[in-house]
């Protein structure tokens, strides 16, 4: 486990989506966050107290979380310099980039010298097996998306919480760095060796017999040319009986790919069901989650209603309106 | 480059598909193979002279190729012991398993001591980028399959050879350990980190402007629950204008998964075209390759003809009947 409380890193980030790991911790584990670290050129904030690295350490932070993501996941010189400063101030450092802290000799040497730890959250387990797709017991719900970073993790957490609120056993199964930091466990599926994608999910959400749910965080999109392989293996490994489609209205293009438009919701839903059927022949869609944070409440409600009419599924913004309608659909009689 | 000639390892293997790397080298680089090494309980042969490891070294072999594959790619104690024996006899050792030779300290120490090398063919490049799916110049053909190990590599090599025989520039792009050993280069796509599958193929088959072809070796199958993520990313990264479907008639179940039947050819073709369209909207199928080695020539011909009638595409066994009909289709006028 990564020692808290945390100082959350924003650095020079100007991309609201790029700071989603820091934001996720601030949102879902606020009591474990002492503040945020950002440079003057960073236009973003998590609404936490702005602290220097030294101030963060003085305020009791035990770990600097480099909670920023960039496509490709490399670590720049500035990020390394800030990690050095954190170690020198007596904090551990955690990161979820593809490039590992432990592969930076300077950080490794300094951490050892100070008796501190480096946490590479994106390290997959070493003992993964290839998936089989054989039917396994248990109830599983998977969130899927039109794109990366459209709110799949928020929806998955909200669905887990709502199930538990009804007295139903449910576990959030994290597949990305942010979810893993929030949950304290999981498998970073985009970092496993390609042959083991579905096997990793079979391991993350194994057979269960308590009639409870594994609520699995989706990744990427079948329509994202960079990451669809991950999404495909995730669908096959999840063997979900139910999927929930997540989407952010108004997004101009697929994440990181100017010029590539998002798929239509209906098309995206159909493709996800088609791919999922390989290992879960009776899979069904039970709802749609929209991230309407850019809309006012009236427009958001109207959009959810229109989407319900078009797709014939409950549609909600999990943050603004909750997910009760989707839980109802999950337990409603169906063909 | 891996120094030849090679001694090809069969060990205790009893699975004809499991020895496909050794068989591929024996078939496509016969002049570089001095013999085969197998135990008495191995019922298989490549038709090469059976040699002990010491005899292989005496016969001039410079590298023992552990050309066997198993699902999951781990290395047993027997395999390690035989690698030790090869090093002690003065040979380098090459392998293409997920588990690396260089991660076995005993082999690393011994190789260093003897001035020999260990070659992990399944090591992907360290500098991969995520794919973009942006249109790139050049002509690309990709083989796809109903299952793993149905003859995609053979078909890809045959198509490359046939294009060249017509004076058309063509390069075989290897994506698996056997192809890489045969070609002397390539990217083991099933061993890359999941986020980089399509990016690896964009790097393997970059833009080209000579009107020649990159003929890309496919992997796995969209219908294989273990590996479909790899196949999906490969389709997206390849951005192929043409695909060729490969199949082995009569196979009882998907490779490694007793009880899971193979998809219908038409269904498999349609799904591959659908997935491919994300990055190559005008992709088309140009042929079907069957591995008819289990049939007599008359039955094989008849099956190819029936398949042509059903699918409306040229169908052949690349080894038995060549691939001229597919090359014709590739250059025929089309809608």
* A102 lies in the same domain as A171: no
- The CATH number assigned to the domain holding B98 equals 3.40.50.720
Structure tokens at A249: 């209205």
* B144 lies in the same domain as B91: no
pLDDT for position A72: 62
* A185 lies in the same domain as A286: yes
Provide, as residue numbers in chain A, all residues whose Cβ is less than 8 Å from the Cβ of B194: 189-194, 197, 229-230, 233
* A81 lies in the same domain as A163: no
Q: Return d(Cα A125, Cα B268) in angstroms, integer.
A: 33
* B291 lies in the same domain as B197: yes
Q: Return d(Cα A245, Cα A148) in angstroms, integer.
A: 12
* A277 lies in the same domain as A216: yes
Q: Closest by alpha carbon to A53, among A19, A6, A104?
A: A6
Q: A35 lies in a domain?
A: yes
List, in sequence order, every residue forming a beta bridge with A190; answer none if it has no partner: none
How many folded domains does chain A comprise? 2
Please identify which residue in the block is written with the tokens 């269904």.
B267
- The CATH number assigned to the domain holding A209 equals 3.40.50.300
Q: B276 lies in a domain?
A: yes
One DSSP character per residue, B201-237 reads HHHHS----SS-EEEEPP-S-TT-TTTHHHHHHHHHH
pLDDT for position A151: 95
List residues in chain B touching A: CB distance below 8 A.
71-73, 98, 129-134, 189-195, 197-199, 222-223, 225-234, 236, 256-257, 259-260, 271, 274-275, 278-279
Per DSSP, which regions of A31-177 are E strands? 33-38, 63-66, 92-95, 118-120, 139-145, 170-173
pLDDT tier, B11 (very low <50, low <70, confident <90, very high otherwise): very high
Burial of residue A284 (number of CB atoms within 10 Å: 0-12, 13-18, 19+): middle
Q: Which residues of A219-243 are buried (b: 16+ CB within 10 A; e: fewer)?
A: bbbbbbbbbbbbbbbbbbbbbbbbb
* B158 lies in the same domain as B68: no
Q: A280 lies in a domain?
A: yes
* B71 lies in the same domain as B183: no
Provide, as residue numbers in chain B, all residues whose Cβ is less than 8 Å from the Cβ of A228: 198, 232-233, 236, 275, 278
Q: A73 lies in a domain?
A: yes
Q: A62 lies in a domain?
A: yes
Q: Return d(Cα B318, Cα B217) in angstroms, integer.
A: 14
pLDDT along chain A (335 residues), means of 10: 94 90 93 97 96 97 91 78 97 90 96 97 91 98 97 97 97 95 92 96 98 98 98 98 98 96 98 98 98 96 98 97 98 88
Of A129, A134, A279, the CB nearest to B72: A129
A182 to chain B, closest Cα gap in Å: 22
- What average pLDDT does the structure give for chain B? 95
Q: Return d(Cα B35, Cα B91) in angstroms, integer.
A: 14
ipTM for the whole complex = 0.90
Q: A129 lies in a domain?
A: no
pLDDT tier, B335 (very low <50, low <70, confident <90, very high otherwise): confident
Q: Which structural domain, as residue segments, surrounds residue B48? A: 6-120
Provide, as residue numbers in chain A, all residues whose Cβ is less than 8 Å from the Cβ of B233: 194, 228-230, 232
Backbone CA torsion sign across A165, A170, A171, A173: negative
φ, ψ at A284 (rounded to 5°): -140, 155
* A102 lies in the same domain as A186: no
């Amino acid at each position: 486990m990564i020692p808290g409380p945390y100082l959350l890193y924003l650095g020079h980030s100007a991309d609201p989506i790029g700071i989603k790991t820091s934001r996720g911790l601030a949102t879902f584990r606020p009591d474990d966050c002492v503040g945020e670290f950002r440079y003057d050129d960073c236009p973003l904030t998590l609404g936490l107290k702005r602290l220097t690295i030294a101030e963060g350490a003085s305020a009791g932070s035990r770990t600097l979380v480099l909670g920023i993501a960039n496509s490709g996941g490399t670590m720049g010189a500035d990020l390394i310099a800030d990690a050095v400063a954190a170690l020198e101030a007596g904090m551990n450092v955690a990161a979820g980039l593809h490039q590992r802290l432990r592969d930076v000799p300077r950080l490794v040497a300094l951490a050892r010298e100070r008796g501190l730890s480096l946490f590479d959250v994106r390290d997959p387990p070493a003992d993964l097996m290839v998936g089989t797709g054989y039917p396994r017991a248990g109830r599983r719900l998977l969130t899927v998306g039109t794109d990366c970073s459209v709110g799949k993790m928020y929806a998955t957490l909200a669905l887990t919480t709502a199930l538990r609120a009804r007295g139903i056993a449910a576990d959030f199964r994290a597949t990305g760095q942010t979810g893993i930091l929030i949950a304290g466990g999981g498998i970073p599926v985009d970092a496993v060796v390609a042959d083991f994608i579905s096997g990793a999910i079979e391991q993350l959400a194994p057979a269960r017999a308590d009639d409870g749910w594994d609520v699995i965080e989706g990744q990427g999109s079948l329509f994202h040319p960079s990451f669809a392989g991950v999404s495909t293996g995730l669908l096959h490994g999840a063997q979900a009986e139910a999927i929930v489609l997540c989407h952010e209205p108004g997004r101009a293009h697929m994440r990181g790919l100017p010029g590539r438009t998002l798929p239509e919701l209906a098309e995206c839903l159909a493709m996800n069901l088609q791919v999922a059927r390989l290992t879960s022949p009776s899979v069904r869609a039970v709802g749609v989650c929209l991230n309407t944070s850019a809309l006012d409440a009236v427009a958001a409600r109207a959009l959810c209603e229109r989407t319900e009419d078009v797709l014939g599924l409950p549609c909600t913004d999990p943050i603004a309106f909750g997910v009760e309608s989707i839980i109802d659909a999950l337990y409603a009689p169906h063909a």
